[in-house]
Amino acid sequence: MTSRIHYTKPSITDKEIEYATDAATNGWGEQCYAYIERFESAFRKHLGVKHAIATSSCTGALHMGLAALGVEAGDEVILADTNWIASAAPITYLGATPVFVDILSDSWCLDPQRVVEAITPRTKAIVAVHLYGNLCAMEQLLAIGEQHGIPVVEDAAEAIGSSYQGKAAGSMGKFGAFSFHGTKTMTTGEGGMFVTNDDALYDRVLALSNHGRTRSQTKQFWPDLIGFKYKMSNVQAAIGCAQVERVAELTREKRRVFHTYQELLADLPLDMNPEPQGTRNGFWMPTIVAYRGTDFDREALLHAFRADQIDGRVFFWPLSGLAMFESRPENVVSYETCLRAVNLPSYHDLSVSDIERVAAHVRAHLKG
């Protein structure tokens, strides 16, 4: 029987099981936050940032971070049109408007020139999403933010293991947000992390994350403002502790999978995730984009995958194409790229023979 090739799944070892078992057995009472604090500390050191707050999701981290920046009804927040809705939803939670701009054709991330064109007096933040592990043009985006007095924040949900000029993805903006969903390079099942180097912002988000109770409040059950409940559990954090101890290994295996695909598909008329000079791509999700004008039927390839027990994913649709958002047909790169692109299976222990099986289907549907 043909074995199934999943598009992604986590790498769980005895270490994760040991830590989670200890948290479930002993992580109560005075120890109820022990693994959470340990995970925050380890992740903070891994990224090289001053502060980290474990959350229930990347969405929660973005929501609290944007709220702490003062984003509110009537404001605008700029982000790329090509994204998953989780990057835009927290903006709407605050009553603000996501302003979708086009992507660069090589990185599939935010186009800095389109960002400049979209800035208005209502612009309150720029969200740089490192899509599929690819790095946004952070030097340009940070310069734009500084010039206009607009904070640039990083959605690094898919970019664990990626770095820009020696700086980890998520560590460069006003704050960063990460995901530890079961599909990600590093996982806690569900979960996320808020990180920042800004002391004041950290204090605001810390209070928001604890139902509005500030660190200085000594009165029991006395919140200082209305906050949120986006906490991670101690058991989840225990798994996260094991994963962050293995993060170099986890990233190395993701990169191995990508480079094997890259070698097998090198002669085909397609682009894959870029790794420009000065960057390191964690390659969370290896992706192919057929050259313009190439005879390529994406749906036929996905159908062939399914017939052979292989999971494939479509490229993210432009968010402005969804009914709940304003249409942005001028974002031509976003609308055109998604039709020529497919995400390939990418879990850590994917074998060479499995990768060859996937690559054979790509070759059959995209001949040079």
The per-residue pLDDT for 228 is 96
Mean pLDDT score of the chain? 96
Residue 368 pLDDT > 80 = no
- The whole-number average pLDDT for the span 7-21 is 97
Residue 216 pLDDT > 90 = no
Residue 258 pLDDT > 90 = yes
- The whole-number average pLDDT for the span 164-168 is 94
The per-residue pLDDT for 164 is 93
The per-residue pLDDT for 167 is 97
The per-residue pLDDT for 1 is 62
- The whole-number average pLDDT for the span 62-73 is 98
Distance of alpha carbon 81 from the chain centroid? 15
Beta bridge partners of 194: 53, 177
Given the DSSP bridges, would you call strands 287-290 and 270-272 parallel, antiparallel or unpaired?
A: antiparallel
Residue 212 pLDDT > 70 = yes
Contact (Cβ atoms closer than 8 angstroms) between residue 242 and residue 16: yes
- The whole-number average pLDDT for the span 212-232 is 90
Residue 359 pLDDT > 90 = yes
The per-residue pLDDT for 215 is 86
Indicate whether this model's pTM tops 0.85.
yes
Distances (CA, A) of 76 to 6, 88, 248: 38, 11, 37
Amino acid at 110: L
Which percentage of the chain shows pLDDT scores above 70? 99
Which percentage of the chain shows pLDDT scores above 90? 95
Residue 2 pLDDT > 80 = no
Contact (Cβ atoms closer than 8 angstroms) between residue 160 and residue 284: yes
Structural domains in the chain plus CATH codes: 14-245 (3.40.640.10), 247-365 (3.90.1150.10)
- The whole-number average pLDDT for the span 8-24 is 97
State the Cα–Cα distance between residues 203 and 207, nearest whole angstrom. Answer: 6
Contact (Cβ atoms closer than 8 angstroms) between residue 55 and residue 257: no
Q: Which of 116, 132, 126 is nearest to 66 (CA)?
A: 126
- Quickly count: other Cβ atoms within 10 Å of residue 219's Cβ: 8
